[in-house]
Amino acid sequence: MAINDFKCKNKYGFNQVIRMTNIDFGVQIEPQYGFTYEEIRKIADACESLNFESIWVSDHLFMTTDSVDIPCLECWTTLTSLARDTTKLRFGPMVSSQSYRNPALIANIAATIDHVSNGRLYFGIGAGWKEVEYRAYGYPYPRPVVRIRQLNDTVQIVKKMWTEDKATYKGRYYSIEDALCFPKPVQKPHIPIWVGGSGNLTLRVTATHADACNFAWTLPPDLFKQKLDVLRNHCAKVGRDYKSIRKSAGIMITIAPTKREVDRKLADQAKRRHTPYMRYLSRQRPNLVGTPDEVAEGIRKYLALGVDHVILRFHYGDEIASMTLFMDEVKNRL
Largest CA distance in the chain: 62
Give the length of the chain: 334
Cβ neighbours of residue 143 closer than 8 Å, sequence gap 6 or more:
none
Type of residue numbered 29: I
Position 282 confidence tier, pLDDT thresholds 50, 70, 90:
confident
Do residues 263 and 257 make contact, with C-beta atoms less than 8 angstroms apart?
no
Nearest CA-CA partner of 90 in 167, 204, 194, 227? 194
What does the pLDDT look like over 164-222, one tens digit per residue? 999 999 999 999 999 999 999 999 999 999 999 999 999 999 999 999 999 999 999 99
DSSP for residue 31: G
pLDDT value of position 283: 82
In angstroms, the CA 24 to CA 30 distance is 20
289, 254 Cβ separation under 8 angstroms: yes
Residue 92, classed as helix, strand or coil, is: strand
Number of domain units in the chain:
1
pLDDT at 33 over 70: yes
Contact between 82 and 44 under an 8 Å Cβ cutoff? The reply is yes
Cβ neighbours around 252 below 10 Å, total: 20
Q: What is the mean pLDDT of the chain?
A: 93
Given a cut of 60, whether residue 18 has pLDDT beyond it is no
At 77, which CATH number? 3.20.20.30
- Contact (Cβ atoms closer than 8 angstroms) between residue 205 and residue 148: yes
Which tens digit of pLDDT belongs to each residue from 73-107? Answer: 999 999 999 999 999 999 999 999 999 999 999 99
Residues 6+ apart with CB under 8 A from 170: none
Angle at which helix 200-209 crosses helix 144-163, to 10 degrees, equals: 10
Give the per-residue pLDDT at 19.
Answer: 38
Helix, strand, coil fractions of the chain, as percent rounded to 5: 45, 20, 35
**pLDDT exceeds 80 at position 13:** no
Q: Can you give the residue range of the structural domain that contains 110?
A: 5-333
